[in-house]
Structure 1
Amino acid sequence: MGTGAADGVRAVRAGLAEADRRVVDAFERHLGLERGLSEHTVRAYVGDVVSMLGFARGLGVGVAGIELGTLRGWLARMRDGGAERASLGRRAAAVRTFTAWAHRQGEMPGDPGLRLVAPKRERRLPTVLREDQAAEVMAASARGAEQLDPVALRDHAIVELLYATGVRVAELCGLDVDDVDLAKRLVRVLGKGGKERVVPFGAPAATAVRLWLDQGRQTLARDYSPPAVWLGARGGRLQPASVRRIVRDAVDAVAGTPGVSPHGLRHSAATHLLEGGADLRSVQELLGHATLSTTQLYTHVTVDRLKAIHDRTHPRSR
C-alpha cells in the first residue's frame, strides 16, 4: 500500500463513527495477535474493511446495519472504478472475514458476507525458467562469486537456495543462522500464518551457503547485526526488495531467459520437481501451500510442456 493510499485509509478511518472505529480496532488486533497474520496482510485486510465501512457510512449505515446489498454496492463501485477481478476477489475475502468475525463478536445480528460472491480470479500460468535456463543462471551466478567477494558470495547463495527450496522471499529473509543445517541440508522456515516447516536442499546450495557463512558473512557483520543468515551492506537483515534486485540481476545476466522474480524461482522449483516425478502432495508440503488447489496450478505448466514435447516428437502427433 503506497503512502497516498495509506493516508486515504487513515482519513476514512478517522471519519467513521466512534463505535465503528472501535470495531475496526478490535478486528485489527484479532488479525495480528490471535491469527498471527503478517503486518502487510493485516494492513491490507483493514484497508479493505475501512473502505467498505466508509462506503456504508455514506449510506448512513454503521457496522450493525450492514446488509448484503451494502457489500454488493461497495464491490460494484470498486468494479466501476476499474478494479480487476483479482482485486475484487481479495477485497470480498477480506470483508467476508470481517463480517464473520463481527457476527461472532455480537457486533452484527447476522453475517451478510456469507452470500457475497465476487468475480472468480483469473488463474494465469506462472512464468518459469526451463531447467537448462535455471542451470545457466546458477552457473553464471557461481562464476560471479569465484573471486570470493562477500556480496557476490551472498547473492549466489541466495539464488541457489531460492531455487533449491522454493521458499518465499519473506521466508528467506527471515532465516537466522540457526535455521540452516548444512550437515543435513535442511532449512527451517516460518511460513504464512506462523506455520513452521522444514525444507531440504541439495549439494550446490549447501556449498554456496557454506561459502557465504564461512567467508562472506563476517565481512558484512557488525556488532549490532542480528543473527540473520543474510546481511545487507550496513550489517542489517537483508530486505525482500534487495533479494528481488539480486534475482533480477542474476537472471538478466543470462541472455534469453525470461524475467523472473524470487517468486518466479519458486514457480520454477515447483515445476521442475513435478516434471522430475515428485507427487503433488510432497510439493505442496515443501512449498507450504495451505491447500492442494494452489499447488495444482503448477500442473498446468507441466501438462503444457508435455503436450509440446508430444507434438514435436511423436510420429503421429499431427
Structure 2
Amino acid sequence: MDWLDAFLEMMAVEKAASAHTLDAYKRDLTTFAGHCARRGVKADAAGADDIRAFVAAMAGEGAAVATQNRRLSAVRRYLRFLYAEGARSDDPGAQVDSPKKGRPLPKVLSVEEVDRLLTLAEEAAGRGDPGAIRRAALVELLYSGGLRVSELVGLPDAALRDDEDMMVVRGKGEKERLVPLTPQAKAAVARWRTVRGRSRMMFPAASKAGHLTRQAFARELKVLASAAGLRAEAVSPHVLRHAFATHLVARGADLRIVQALLGHQDIATTEIYTHVGNDHLAAVIADCHPLG
C-alpha cells in the first residue's frame, strides 16, 4: 500500500486540505523520504533518531527555523497517521523537540555612532534654530534614559524639574519609574524650555494628543542620522533605546538596574542585552581572570 497517497487522501477528505497544502505536504514528506533513504531506512519505519537527524541536516543546510518546523510538522502528522492506521506500533514524532526560533538580537549603535548623533544634534542646536534645539533635547533625553518613544514624546513638563537629576516617566500600564538625567540632557532641556516658553507638555505640538507624534520624531531622527553619516534605515528611537541598555550592560551595569531603568516587567526581556561584543568579553577576562 502507498501510505503517502493514503495520507494525502485523508488530508483532502477529512481535513479539507487545499491542493496547495497537499503539494506542500508531498514535497516535505518526499524530502524526508530522501533523507531516510540515505540513512538506509524507509520513511514509514523512521524512528525518533532518524527524525532528529533530519532536523539536524536541515539546520546544517541553513534552512530557516520556520522551514524546519514546517517539515517536522508534516513528518509528525504523517507518522501519527501511520500509527492511527495500525501501520506501525509507535509514534516517534512526539519524542522529537521542535527547533526553537532564536530571539533576534536588537539592532544597536556603537558608542561612537551615538556620539556622532549627539554631537551633530548639539552643533545644530548651537546655531539657535528652535527645531534643532528641540531635536537635541529629544535625542539627549532618549539616550540619557533609554525611554520608549511614546514615553519620550508624551513627557509632561512636570516630569523634569530643573533642580533634580531624575525625571518621572510613566510607562506601560501607567506605572511610574524614576530615570536619571545626564548633565547633557538637563542642559538640552533647559535650553529647549527657554525657546519653547511655558507649556504643559515637554514637546507640545498641534496634534490630537497635544504633543509631538512618534512618527514626526522618528522622521527627524532619520534626517539627523543621515547627516551624521549613518544609514537612516538603521536608526530609530527604539534603536537608541537598545543602545542605551546595551552600552550600560557592556560596561558592567547590573541587569536588575537596567531592567528598572527600562521599565521591563520581566528580567528575561532585559537579558537580551547581554549580547556584549567579544572584545568586551576578552577585556573582562584580561582584567579579571587570575591568569589574565
TM-score bracket, normalised by the shorter chain, equals 0.5 to 0.7
CA contact (8 A) 1:247 1:261 kept: yes
* Change beyond 3 A, Cα 1:305–1:129: farther
Which of 232, 250, 261 pairs up with 1:286?
261
CA deviations over 1:30-74 (Å, ceiling 9, x no partner): xxxxxxxxxxxxxxxxxxxxxxxxxxxxxxxxxxxxxxxxxxxxx
Q: How far apart, in 1, do the equivalents of 2:255 and 2:279 lie? A: 17
Question: For 1:208 and 1:121, how far apart are their aligned partners in 2?
Answer: 42
In the alignment, the residues of structure 2 paired with residue 150 and residue 288 of structure 1 have an alpha-carbon distance, to the nearest angstrom, of 31
1:260 match: 235
Q: Given the alignment, which residue of 255, 268, 274 partners 1:299?
A: 274
Return closer, same or farther for 1:234/1:303 CA change in 2, 3 Å cut-off: closer
Give the secondary structure class of the aligned counterpart of 1:199: strand
**What does the per-residue CA deviation read over 1:247-275, in whole Å, with 9 as the maximum and x for residues that have no partner?**
21222221146722100000000011112
Alpha-carbon distance in 1 for matches of 2:282, 2:113 = 18
In structure 2, what is the equivalent of residue 3 of structure 1? none
Identity, % of aligned positions: 38
Pairing partner for 1:270 from 245, 251, 254: 245
Is 2:185 aligned against 1:210?
no
Match among 80, 83, 108 for residue 128 of structure 1: 108
1:193 deviation in Å? 1.1
* Secondary structure in 2 matching 1:181: coil
Match of 2:147 in 1: 167
Matched residue type, 1:275: A
Give the distance between the partners of 2:217 and 2:165, measured in 1 at CA: 22
Report deviation, 1:308.
7.6
Aligned to 1:230: 203
Contiguous gaps of at least 5 residues in structure 1: 1-76, 86-117, 311-318
Q: CA deviation at 1:135?
A: 0.9
Which structure 1 residue ranges, 4+ long, deviate > 3 Å from structure 2?
Answer: 118-122, 233-236, 307-310
1:205 CA displacement: 0.7
CA distance in 1, matches of 2:173, 2:143: 23
Question: Which of these residues, 224, 228, 235, is aligned with residue 250 of structure 1?
Answer: 224
User: 2:111 is matched by which residue type in structure 1?
Assistant: E
Q: Deviations over 1:147-181 (max 9, x none)?
A: 22111110110011101100100111221111112
| TM-score normalized by the length of structure 1 | 0.54
Residue 185 of structure 1 and its aligned partner are, at CA, apart by 2.0
Report if the CA contact (8 A) 1:182-1:210 is conserved.
yes
| Cα distance change of structure 1 residues 272 and 143 upon mapping to structure 2, 3 Å threshold | same
1:37-48 alignment runs, 5 A limit:
none
Q: Which is greater in Rg?
A: 2
Unaligned runs of at least 5 residues, structure 2: 1-20, 25-64, 67-97, 285-292
Alpha-carbon distance in structure 2 between the residues aligned to 1:163 and 1:155: 12
Which of 157, 160, 174 is 2:137 aligned to? 157
Q: State the shift of 1:233 in Å.
A: 6.4
CA contact (8 A) 1:133 1:257 kept: no
- Decide which moves more: 253-262 or 148-157: 253-262
CA contact (8 A) 2:250 2:280 kept: no
Summarize deviations over 1:184-216 as a string: whole Å, max 9, x none. Answer: 12111111111111100100111101100112x
Question: 1:58-101, CA deviations, whole angstroms, 9 ceiling, x for partnerless residues?
Answer: xxxxxxxxxxxxxxxxxxx9xx9xxx97xxxxxxxxxxxxxxxx
Count of paired positions? 193
Question: CA, structure 1 residues 182+304, in 2 after alignment: closer, same or farther (shift >3 Å)?
Answer: farther
Q: Residue 293 of structure 1 aligns to which amino acid in structure 2? A: A
Match of 1:66 in 2: none
* C-alpha distance after superposition, 1:103-154 (max 9, x if no partner): xxxxxxxxxxxxxxx9965411111111111111100011111122111110
Q: Relative to 1, partners in 2 of residues 1:183 and 1:309: Cα closer, same or farther, differing over 3 Å?
A: same
Correspondence 1:49-60 to 2 at 5 A:
none
Q: CA RMSD, aligned part only?
A: 3.1
Query: Counterpart of 2:185 in structure 1: which amino acid?
Result: A
Quote the residue 2:168 is aligned against: 188
